[in-house]
Amino acid sequence: MKIFKLSDGVLLQHQNASYTLRYEWNALINRDRLFNYLTGILSVLDVISEDKATTLINKSLLPPIGRQEVWAAGVTYLRSMEARMEESADSGGADLYDKVYAAERPELFFKSMPHRVAGHGQKVYIRRDSAWNVPEPELTLFINAKGNIQAYTIGNDMSSRSIEGENALYLPQAKIFERSAALGPCLFVPPDQVIAKDTAIKMTIHRNNTLIYNDETSINRMKRSFTELAGYLYRECNFPDGSFLMTGTCLVPPNDFTLHEGDVISINIDGIGSLVNTVSYKPL
């Protein structure tokens, strides 16, 4: 089951059929057994044609977020640990990353308020005061208010590697800025709340219509479990509308790569779809 948030309602896709409904987004998604609830209401919804569904998605798709905070986990894959140790070697902060990779407590950081999030087809921004900018493709959990994972989406944890590498205490500035988080295109709600362990995550980057980066990995290379990350996030915080949690990156472009204005980032995750965003600067 996929749920798309539209400017004037919600579109559901299940077993090759599309349905529309009017429902307040936060109330719709924030429940236990979301899949059972959605399949239970399908029979009273309006079925629409595939063409109409495509038109609605093309014209009025929004990021699949309402009032939820967006959080992120870090250094959950070996590749991320190695890349960050390299970028922080000169600042003397490299040790932090292998310690957190091995530690019982995961790294969790606040990523975004909903109004800063870009959806599929919208622009993501890079900072003008950063010389080294990268996308971070991340499977992202939707966790309900009770702390139970109900759905998955694609996340892009846009980051400044030069600012984080200069000093790890600059992490919030490396991670939080306008349009530094992208989510979409939809929420994928599996029947048993579980996503397949061998789910592939792929990223391409095009510059002037030329492919300049192309790589993929599988989420089964992650060191931690999703329930472990969600459990830590909900230990001492309440999320009345649920939350989104990006689960960390494993795809890191080479160290001489930085994003340019106009680059097109496409992230694909099996079962969810593709999140495509063009890189820009925040308008002055």
Any contact of residue 136 with Mg ion (CB under 5 A)?
yes
Q: Which residues within the stretch 227-246 sit at the binding site for ligand DO4 (CB under 6 A)?
A: none
Choose the stretch contacting Mg ion; rule: CB under 5 A; options: 33-41, 62-70, 99-107, 248-256: 248-256
Q: Which is nearer to Mg ion, 5 or 84 (CB)?
A: 84
Least Å distance between CB 220 and Mg ion?
18
255-274 footprint of ligand DO4 as x/- string (CB under 6 A): --------------------
CA distances from 282 to 118, 127, 129, 256, 259 (A): 12, 8, 12, 24, 14
Q: Which residues pair with 160 in a beta bridge?
A: 133
Any contact of residue 249 with ligand DO4 (CB under 6 A)?
yes
Closest residue to Mg ion: CB criterion? 157
Residue 107 interface partner, choices Mg ion, ligand DO4, none, CB cut-off 5-8 Å depending on type: ligand DO4
Q: Report d(CA 182, CA 64) in Å as an integer.
A: 10
Any contact of residue 87 with ligand DO4 (CB under 6 A)?
no
Least Å distance between CB 111 and ligand DO4?
9
Any contact of residue 80 with ligand DO4 (CB under 6 A)?
yes
What's at 110, amino acid-wise?
F
Q: Which residues within the stretch 18-77 sit at the binding site for ligand DO4 (CB under 6 A)?
A: 72, 74-75
Q: Which is nearer to Mg ion, 38 or 229 (CB)?
A: 229
151-190 footprint of Mg ion as x/- string (CB under 5 A): ------x---------------------------------
Any contact of residue 136 with ligand DO4 (CB under 6 A)?
yes
Any contact of residue 249 with Mg ion (CB under 5 A)?
yes
Residue numbers at the binding site for Mg ion (CB under 5 A)? 136, 157, 249
Residue numbers at the binding site for ligand DO4 (CB under 6 A)? 72, 74-75, 80, 84, 107, 136, 157, 171, 248-249
